[in-house]
Amino acid sequence: TDELGRDMLSRLIWGGRLSLLMGVTPVVLAFIIGSAIGIIAGYAGGWTNTLIMRTVDVFYAFPSVLLAVALSGALGAGLGNALLSLTVVFIPPIARVAESVTTRLRSSDFIEAARASGAGAFTIVRVHVLGNVLGPIFVYATSLIAVSMILASGLSFLGLGVRPPNPEWGLMLNTLRTAIYVQPWVAALPGAMIFMVSISFNLLSDGLRSAMEVRQ
């Protein structure tokens, strides 16, 4: 039990819902928005690419931890604001990957053949570009889930994420830090859960990457 007599196992299991929500949701939203931004910039090229990607670089220049803490501090504590902050953090790297892959595909022979056949830009992107771009972006986004979980737990630990008494692994670390010298095994449990889930998503990302390389 914790300092208030609450069952730790129940709180760990129930708190996993919020931790997974804060880890997966920002990456999914950033995947959708960042992919759209990167594909538009990569396929359009020219000044459109320059304008969009320089704007993305402004956010990409800040360390992810600093940007997440600054945005959460400005917006205020709470689950919704933490999710919004993490989404903004992950849009630039995903947009970068999408733009890079799309730029490389834009000069491919099958894209030139589609243009020569009279296909419009929207049709080319929908039929030919999306299928080739989303795979690498999805693999990269999967690896960001582990980063998102760690950042989300850090925000909750600092009091900028989930508010008490809701159980969340980062928030549980904060509330149990006073017991670390008396009952270190109790304080280590939320950290161990964060570690194991983060490693699991990293292994999943590596497996997807290996599967795609074999397929290609």
Tell me how far apart the terminal alpha carbons of the chain are, to the nearest angstrom: 51
Packing angle of the helix pair 64-75, 130-157 (nearest 10 deg) = 60
Radius of gyration (Cα) for the chain, nearest Å? 21
Condensed to tens digits (0 to 9), the pLDDT of residues 91-147 reads 999 999 999 988 888 878 888 888 888 877 788 888 788 888 888 898 899 989 999
Q: CA 207 to CA 203: how far, in whole Å?
A: 6
pLDDT attached to residue 3? 65
The answer to whether residue 88 sits within a structural domain is yes
The answer to whether residue 2 sits within a structural domain is no
What pLDDT band is residue 164 in, cutting at 50, 70 and 90? confident
pLDDT attached to residue 84? 93
The answer to whether residue 123 sits within a structural domain is yes
What pLDDT band is residue 160 in, cutting at 50, 70 and 90? confident
Q: Name the token pair of 58.
A: 């402004």
| 3-state SS, residue 162 | coil
Q: Name every residue whose Cβ is closer than 8 Å to that of residue 55 and which is 6 or more positions away in sequence.
A: none
- When pLDDT is averaged across residues 83-96 and rounded to a whole number, the result is 93
Q: CA 35 to CA 51: how far, in whole Å?
A: 16
pLDDT, averaged across the chain = 85
What pLDDT band is residue 215 in, cutting at 50, 70 and 90? low
The answer to whether residue 1 sits within a structural domain is no
Q: CA 134 to CA 126: how far, in whole Å?
A: 11
- When pLDDT is averaged across residues 3-27 and rounded to a whole number, the result is 84
Q: Which residues span the domain enclosing 17?
A: 8-215
Number of domains in the chain: 1
**pLDDT more than 90, % of the chain:** 21
CATH of the domain at 14: 1.10.3720.10
DSSP, residue by residue, 69-100: HHHHHHH-SSHHHHHHHHHHHHHHHHHHHHHH
The answer to whether residue 62 sits within a structural domain is yes
What pLDDT band is residue 36 in, cutting at 50, 70 and 90? very high
Q: Name the token pair of 214.
A: 């074999």
Where b means 16+ CB within 10 Å and e means fewer, 150-172 reads bbbbbbbbbebbbeeebbbbbbb
